[in-house]
Amino acid sequence: GENVEQHPSTLSVQEGDSAVIKCTYSDSASNYFPWYKQELGKRPQLIIDIRSNVGEKKDQRIAVTLNKTAKHFSLHITETQPEDSAVYFCAPRDNQGGKLIFGQGTELSVKP
Amino acid sequence: EAQVTQNPRYLITVTGKKLTVTCSQNMNHEYMSWYRQDPGLGLRQIYYSMNVEVTDKGDVPEGYKVSRKEKRNFPLILESPSPNQTSLYFCASRWGGTGGYNEQFFGPGTRLTVL
């Protein structure tokens, strides 16, 4: 079946440093690549997404890059702040978008 | 306010006692889905619905039932709950029954404990 893997599972950085989380997928039909952020005790929320006809998308301090040939996409957070501390999930999907497999999550800790 | 609501938010029950967790959205979304979240396992899809009267299994459907009689509601039914169904449950919805590169909106979650 389809496989989605996220790395690393935990990431600890100093405030101001950059953080990168990678998501690898197996379904070649995937063409939509979102990242969700889940703060402690809260629901997941979309923070950035990219479609397969775009290689990179940036929104202030966060960016997503896509390598469709290698079947992976990455979340980049620059100038990290304590409020970036959360669990981040990827959830690539195809055009139908019915059945979904989330990555197992990356717990990011930003130390002041 | 556009939102996904779930009820109850917290539930403690006993093995075998049938229960229903309701999910409702007011955004006229075609797609709705249920997930469970367990430590170390991330979010796993239980069932999803592409539109009214159209439901399908996700990754972990055993022990659960759903129905989609109206567009706004997508209840999750546990006919005979067992302790391994103790988990945090999220309902989500998005625009676009087939296709559509749209974000999912999640409900606030329901924490279920089965004793």
The pLDDT tens digits of the residues spanning B33-46 come to: 999 999 888 999 99
Average pLDDT over residues A12-26: 98
Q: Is the pLDDT score of B10 beyond 60?
A: yes
Spatial CA neighbour of A73 closest among A13, A25, A17:
A25
pLDDT at B98: 54
Q: Is the pLDDT score of B25 beyond 80?
A: yes
Spatial CA neighbour of B32 closest among B109, B101, B90, B108:
B90
pLDDT at B71: 96
pLDDT digits (tens, 9 = 90+) for A29-76: 998 999 999 999 999 999 999 988 789 999 999 999 999 999 999 999
Q: Which residues in chain A are closer than 8 Å to B46, comparing Cβ atoms?
A: none
pLDDT at A97: 75
Rounded Cα distance between B74 and B93, Å, is 10
Q: Which residues of B15-46 are buried (b: 16+ CB within 10 A; e: fewer)?
A: eeeebebebbbeeebbbbbbbbbeeeebbbbb
Confidence of residue B15 (pLDDT cuts 50, 70, 90): very high
Collapsed DSSP state (helix, strand, coil) of residue B84: helix
Number of neighbouring beta carbons within 10 Å of residue A95: 14
Nearest-CB residue to A98 (from B35, B50, B101): B50
Confidence of residue A77 (pLDDT cuts 50, 70, 90): very high
Rounded Cα distance between A10 and A18, Å, is 14
Q: Is the pLDDT score of B1 beyond 90?
A: no
Q: Is the pLDDT score of A96 beyond 90?
A: no
Rounded Cα distance between B86 and A87, Å, is 21
Rounded Cα distance between B18 and B31, Å, is 26
Q: Is the pLDDT score of A1 beyond 90?
A: no
pLDDT at A44: 97
Share of chain A above pLDDT 90, in %: 85
pLDDT digits (tens, 9 = 90+) for B55-110: 999 999 999 999 999 999 999 999 999 999 999 999 999 987 555 567 899 999 99
Average pLDDT over residues B17-21: 98
Nearest-CB residue to B101 (from A51, A99, A102): A51
Q: Which residues in chain A are closer than 8 Å to B2, comparing Cβ atoms?
A: none
Token pair for residue A10?
């935990």
H-state helical runs in B51-90: none
Nearest-neighbour CA in chain B from A100: distance (Å): 7
Backbone angles phi, psi at A3, to 5 degrees: -130, 135
pLDDT at A106: 97
Token pair for residue A61?
């301090």
Nearest-neighbour CA in chain B from A44: distance (Å): 6
Amino acid occupying residue A66:
L
Q: Which residues of A55-77 are buried (b: 16+ CB within 10 A; e: fewer)?
A: eeeeeeebbbbbeeeebbbbbbb
